[in-house]
Amino acid sequence: MAGLTAMEKKLAEYKCNTNEAIQLKLVRFPEDLEDENTTFNPEYSHQVFGDDEVAFGYKGLKILLYYIAGNLSTLFRIEYASKVNEKFDCVEADDVESKIREIIPPGFCTNTDDFVSLLEKEVNFKPFGMLLHTYSIHNEEAGEDITYQIYKADMTCPGFREYHERLQTFLMWFIETASFIDVDDERWNYFLVFEKYNKDGATLFATVGYMTVYNYYVYPDKTRPRVSQMLILPPFQGEGHGAQLLETVHRYYMSSPTVLDITAEDPSENYVKLRDFVLVKLCQDLLCFSPVKLMQGFSQEMVTEAQQKLKINKQHTRRVYEILRLRATNMGDAEQSRSYRLDVKRRLIGPYKYHRDSCGCVLFTNCC
């Protein structure tokens, strides 16, 4: 901070990193409110606080956003050690409260007692929509299998609109280019993941994550579901819920004769990896992806069968083929290794043609 005036140094002390200041919780029990182990922070806050992800005017700023684990009723409170005041000429603190109010729906609590009262009513919360899939994951810490369920919902489900308004606020903190969708458009489908847990002998449900899918029209009588948003909340990440959700959604659309194929809107690198895993799992049981067929090269049979049976488009089928062929290839065998590399190379240079000019230089022309 060399070269700064005394006042500039003083004001710099009132800058807070909003990714650190925002504290999120999914609360199941009253004691969770004081348990730091249940707290997690955003990955992003630039859509609310600007590209620098900084709030000015506070020391020790804490932006508390606590959610009841199931229905996501919200406690919102701001705490800080000190704030700039009239001693600082022409300087005002950022209106943090207004910025947060822009993204969280009304009806939130501002004091702990009201929030705990709502927590006591959580036993009445039940998942929305139609149950699609139930699965279990072993929890080493608890020493038992935990049950999870995936549901399909829409805006006709009583209470779901209000629940979704609270759920979608998490997108702003964990998806870099997130935006809220038009829930009045009936072509949206919503898929929700819940954990079943026990509290005082009763079975309750905690929100784990969700996905939104938009059904695009394809002439003349088909639809193309496109995954728009997918989020597994941080306390549940790394446990396999993303794969369970994506596979369940894929299987749901596979059963529809009107679905052409399934795509994704601007997929992240992590989503592409997840999709590769799920599609490989689905395709590996098809006869056209047997080791013998794989070693014969990519074929129209693979494209047709993957599209008709699994609603996978040609581009994704090609990725699956290369992954499965790599698994079937003995890379220690010089001939098999060379054959695989050449196969991939042909795919990479396929969109281009080249010719030589009068000087003998190779000129490439994109023919896509």
DSSP codes of every residue in 187-205: TEEEEEEEEEEEETTEEEE
44-87 pLDDT, tens digit each? 999 999 999 999 999 999 999 999 999 999 999 999 999 987 56
CATH of the domain at 183: 3.40.630.30
166-194 pLDDT, tens digit each? 999 999 999 999 999 999 999 999 999 99
CATH of the domain at 27: 3.90.360.10
Give the C-alpha separation, 274 to 238, whole Å.
11
275-290 pLDDT, tens digit each? 999 999 999 999 999 9
110 and 36 housed in the same domain? yes
79 and 148 housed in the same domain? no
- Report yes or no on 279 lying in a domain: no
Give the C-alpha separation, 175 to 152, whole Å.
22
- Check whether 27 has a pLDDT greater than 70: yes
Distance of CA 357 to the CA centre of its chain: 49
90 and 139 housed in the same domain? no
Query: Phi/psi of residue 254, each to 5°?
Result: -60, -30
Which range marks the domain in which residue 201 is found? 126-266
Interval 23-40 mean pLDDT: 97
309 and 242 housed in the same domain? no
Interval 243-250 mean pLDDT: 98
| DSSP conformation letters of 79-139 | E-SEE--TTSTT-----HHHHHHTTSPS--BSSHHHHHHHHTTGGG----SEEEEEEEEEE
332 and 346 housed in the same domain? yes
138 and 161 housed in the same domain? yes
Cα distance between the two ends of the chain: 53
How many domains are there within the chain? 3
CATH of the domain at 293: 1.10.10.390
**Active site positions, annotated:** 265
- Domain boundary residue among 57, 87, 120? 120
pLDDT over 70, % of the chain: 93
pLDDT of residue 354: 60
262 and 136 housed in the same domain? yes
Q: How far is CA 178 from CA 18, 46, 264, 267, 309, in A?
A: 17, 11, 14, 12, 32
Residue 55 burial (CB count, 10 A): 26
> How many residues in the chain?
368
CA 31, 34, 39 angle in degrees (round to 5)? 105
